[in-house]
Chains A and B, each alone.
Chain A
Amino acid sequence: KAGVTQTPRYLIKTRGQQVTLSCSPISGHRSVSWYQQTPGQGLQFLFEYFSETQRNKGNFPGRFSGRQFSNSRSEMNVSTLELGDSALYLCASSLRADSTEKLFFGSGTQLSVL
């Protein structure tokens, strides 16, 4: 089975722009979650989707949004980029619907905001 695929691997944007990141989960996994990783804050939960529904959202401003498609692929969007949005964005998928066990992570998208 192919692993979790995230595209693009690297992105460079300027302040005020918007960006869309993509994540394809492992085949059969219906739960997709997103995390932001920075040296200062560590791993912070963004949101989680299951069967196209957002079940959980972390404490991020409304500039951060996401969605999930019927094939379980997910996208996250960040509008009006700020310097502080520079981070590694990680997507993870899991098989189970009723608990959060064994997340499978992609390699991440490294976003740099200049």
Chain B
Amino acid sequence: SQQGEEDPQALSIQEGENATMNCSYKTSINNLQWYRQNSGRGLVHLILIRSNEREKHSGRLRVTLDTSKKSSSLLITASRAADTASYFCATENRGSTLGRLYFGRGTQLTVWP
């Protein structure tokens, strides 16, 4: 499969703590993106990191990319109950035809008040 894999599958933390999710993938990529999904709803784009970038920040989000290890991590700082959702990484694979992203299975994050 060319899909990514997130780790852990589920994460439960208290409000105010940091949440770290990891993603591994198998092929060369153009970019890697993180999406969030609230239960039974559509996905919302959070952040994109290109293959020539190592780290990006957006608000409370920090994404890193290590292309030598084919892995990425998403850090959410000072988590809030409203951050409770599933988080997916998705890759645009190099050489892949346009319009297609490969999604991982997701990490279910629960933030307790």
Contacts and interface: CB of A to CB of B under 8 A. Distances in A.
A106 interface: yes
Interface in B9-50: 30-31, 33, 35, 40-45, 48
Given A103-B45, A108-B41, A50 B99 contact: yes
Contact of A55 (B31, B98, B103): B98
A87 to B, nearest CB: 12
Given A105-B44, A106-B42, A107-B41, A99 B101 contact: no
B3 interface: yes
Interface residues of B, number: 25
Per DSSP, are chain A's interface residues mostly helix, strand or loop, or mixed? strand
A40 B33 CA distance: 22
Contact of A100 (B41, B42, B43, B99): B99
A95 B70 CA distance: 27
Interface string A89-101: 0101010011111
B28 to A, nearest CB: 15
